[in-house]
Structure 1
Amino acid sequence: MIIALLITFIFLILRFTVTLFNFLSNPKLPRIGKHYQHKVSILIPARNEQDDILNLLQSIQEQDYPYYEVIVLDDNSTDNTYAVCRGFADNHPKFKVIQGKPLPADWLGKNYACHQLAEQATGDYLLFLDADERVENSLINSAIHRMNLRGLSLLSLFTNQDMRTPGEKMVVPLMHYILLNLLPLRLVFLVKSASVSAASGQFMMFDAADYNKYRWHRLVKNKVVEDVEIMKLVKVSKLNGEALLANGMISCRMYKGYNEAVNGFGKNFLAAFNYNIIGFLIYLAILLGGPVLIILTAKPNLISMMATLIISGRIMISLMAGQNAWRNVLWHPIQMLSLLLIGITSIQKRLTKTTEWKGRKI
């Protein structure tokens, strides 16, 4: 019992320390007023995105950076994605739509779509975005400035999350919660080892010359968490990569409703632990079981210490992520139960080899 409590508090304190480091170091993309003139190829893989992609295309057309081309790849959609994008592109000359080739057996869908998009791009920078996002002013200028300032081959941003239903609010905040209390985000750039890597496929900006040399998506063609794997390869190749928070300049509505969010996180959550089920279960046991154990001691000093660490950590992470801090504090137990369900879902799908997304097995 004493050993279990000790392990729990060590884990709580370590996570709080990481959170505090992130909060004080403020790993956000700075907003820059300087204007650049580099051509940016904005590349959007789209599969069954007829309900969302028009918002992204309109936001790109309305933002304040004029030197770009947009290429949308319709990845064998079964809805009207191509027609929606075609109709928009017909009225906006910087936009074009292509139809993806059939998916080869040894590729995953998004990776192959991104590979095809890169082959069509002509920009100095390649910016991969997901179809369910919205960009804001200052994003592209700020990203190019950061690429130049740091000499980056890859800049990845963790976008602000648009959550509209209670179900989404029970699940989606877990992304930033886990990220920002496990990884000091500034170290992705500062530590050159590939073991310290993080990235989000929702925003991946590449130096085009480096991308064309290495063809990163081809190198990770069968990887579920391709974004992190690419960051690792960038660092292994002695190039610079950085991952930051988006600072309100790009947002994404990842999922619509509770079930979709649980299934969406479940498809790649275990992959973040390199499919080590035992290690993943130990993490869940300490994260979720430890606080329960402390509560069962009925000792007010231990419970108050635990609550202080958890609540202050949730507040700091929520502020960094641009989320409602008090809602995340109040809903913390519900979100932890959702995390348990995601963990069970992820393990079950892994063991039964039934992981699917958008009609394709992964």
Structure 2
Amino acid sequence: MMLYLALFTFLFWFAVWLDAKIGMKKIAKLELVKEDESLYSRGPLLSIIVAAKDEEKHIEASLQSQFQQTYSNIEWIVVNDRSTDRTGTIIDQLAKNEPRMKSIHIKELENGWLGKNHALYKGYLQSKGEYILFTDADILFQKDTVIKAMTYFQNKKLDHLTLAPNLKGSSFWTNAFVSFFLFGFGYFKRPWKSNDPKSKSAIGIGAFNLLSRKAYEGIGTHRNIKMRPDDDLMLGKQIKQAKKRQHMALALEHLQVEWYPNLRSALIGLEKNTFAGLFYSYFMVLFAISGLFLSQLFPFIALFVTTGITQLIFLLSILMLFLAYNVTANKMAKGANIYLTVFPITVLLFIYSIARATILTLHRGGIIWRGTFYSIKQLKK
């Protein structure tokens, strides 16, 4: 029985590695895009919409990096979503010196909405651009990010382009956790399939979701996903379901974000969308935890409890797992391979994060996101 499990594990990771090795080559890198110089003077109006809640530490640096874009035909709609810190004051000060920027202050959340989704929708209502870019309040842009993205968007005749940023943490364990998350994202979501119009696979990343206004309105705007904690991913899914053209590209040299400042913050942050990502299904939670244990943790345990050919096959399974990690996480995060040294521990941490988020959601009867409680009944509805 153990031999069959070893063989299955090896074949599974071999298939994952081969699929990812071929697939990741299909994902473009933004730094390799040669910008269309005609867009400097004749580029269509782009509305950049930023939702911010208690972002006083990051929002000024983020917006200043956006104001320096070489693509000039931009308007900014920055939405202060019920912040209790200095976010609103910072936004208003920046708006005084940047005539292309408009600030909106939300005092109360409308019923039936999650805060961020509501803020982005309110920003859209005030926008005028032919194209819309939804981004977060803590993203740092290189000055040619937008011109390259718009060039790629128009060259590929897209309806939606999402960019993967360089995620970084301030500690070894945070970065190890982030790298493991990207590994799972790579082999489970298979992001390269989102570039295939024949595939139902879809992707959306909150750091950079660029859409044509026509496509965004065609999918019903954020009103169709107003209670989804994973709004960025669902935005991409709506695009694909509407049979519109979508691409994902890597922008590790052009977008940077501190995903979470420490491991504790990462675990808290995942509370809001882990259960949602598993479709609010207890079966999917058990399936995810069991799958992680059997495919990514047990091979290491098996090295100490098996012998002979079975032990050798489990060792080869770990090698294939590491190769799969190398072509996914290491392509989406700089220097991710160093965290293979603690891979079994990060597996345990991720299993813990899933269990923790699910138990807390059930105990509370919902999630707490940015200081607001949303019941499970509301979320499912």
Range 289-298 or range 330-339, more displaced: 289-298
TM-score (norm 1): 0.92
In the alignment, what sits opposite 2:92? 86
In the alignment, what sits opposite 2:378? none
In the alignment, what sits opposite 2:161? 155
In the alignment, what sits opposite 2:26? 25
Taking only aligned residues, the RMSD between alpha carbons, in angstroms, comes to 2.1
Question: Judging changes above 3 Å, is the alpha-carbon distance between structure 1 residues 201 and 123 closer, same or farther for their aligned structure 2 residues?
Answer: same
Equivalent AA in structure 2 for residue 33 of structure 1: E
In the alignment, what sits opposite 1:361? 373
Match of 2:221 among 198, 216, 220: 216
- Distance, in Å, in 2 between the alignment partners of 1:174 and 1:22 is 19
TM-score (norm 2): 0.88
Question: Judging changes above 3 Å, is the alpha-carbon distance between structure 1 residues 289 and 58 closer, same or farther for their aligned structure 2 residues?
Answer: same
Equivalent AA in structure 1 for residue 11 of structure 2: I
> Is residue 313 of structure 2 the alignment partner of residue 313 of structure 1?
no
How far the C-alpha of 1:74 sits from its partner, in A, is: 0.3
> Is residue 283 of structure 2 the alignment partner of residue 266 of structure 1?
no
How far the C-alpha of 1:3 sits from its partner, in A, is: 3.7
- Distance, in Å, in 2 between the alignment partners of 1:333 and 1:285 is 10
> Is residue 350 of structure 2 the alignment partner of residue 350 of structure 1?
no
Question: Judging changes above 3 Å, is the alpha-carbon distance between structure 1 residues 320 and 282 closer, same or farther for their aligned structure 2 residues?
Answer: same
- Listed as ranges, the gaps of 5+ residues in structure 1 are none
- Distance, in Å, in 2 between the alignment partners of 1:244 and 1:270 is 27
- Distance, in Å, in 2 between the alignment partners of 1:14 and 1:100 is 49
The residue correspondences of 1:150-299 to structure 2 (distance < 5 A) are 150-194=156-200, 196-275=201-280, 276-295=284-303, 296-299=305-308
What do the CA deviations read for 1:250-283 (whole angstroms, capped 9, x no partner)? 1111211110011212321232232332332332
Quick check: 1:31–1:139 contact (8 Å CA) kept in 2?
A: no
Range 106-115 or range 351-360, more displaced: 351-360
Q: Secondary structure at the residue paired with 2:133?
A: strand
Aligned length: 361
Range 350-359 or range 67-76, more displaced: 350-359
Range 21-30 or range 138-147, more displaced: 21-30
In the alignment, what sits opposite 2:115? 109
Quick check: 1:8–1:290 contact (8 Å CA) kept in 2?
A: no
Equivalent AA in structure 1 for residue 145 of structure 2: L
Quick check: 2:179–2:333 contact (8 Å CA) kept in 1?
A: no
Q: Secondary structure at the residue paired with 2:349?
A: helix
- Distance, in Å, in 2 between the alignment partners of 1:193 and 1:167 is 35
What do the CA deviations read for 1:57-116 (whole angstroms, capped 9, x no partner)? 111122322111111100001111000111122112122211025212211111111110
- Distance, in Å, in 1 between the alignment partners of 2:204 and 2:218 is 20
In the alignment, what sits opposite 1:142? 148
Quick check: 1:270–1:280 contact (8 Å CA) kept in 2?
A: no
Quick check: 2:205–2:232 contact (8 Å CA) kept in 1?
A: yes
Match of 1:53 among 55, 59, 68: 59
Quick check: 1:170–1:258 contact (8 Å CA) kept in 2?
A: no
- Distance, in Å, in 1 between the alignment partners of 2:297 and 2:343 is 14
- Distance, in Å, in 1 between the alignment partners of 2:178 and 2:158 is 29
Quick check: 1:155–1:204 contact (8 Å CA) kept in 2?
A: yes
Question: Judging changes above 3 Å, is the alpha-carbon distance between structure 1 residues 340 and 255 closer, same or farther for their aligned structure 2 residues?
Answer: same
- Distance, in Å, in 2 between the alignment partners of 1:7 and 1:101 is 55
- Distance, in Å, in 1 between the alignment partners of 2:134 and 2:253 is 18
Quick check: 2:9–2:314 contact (8 Å CA) kept in 1?
A: no
How far the C-alpha of 1:146 sits from its partner, in A, is: 2.1
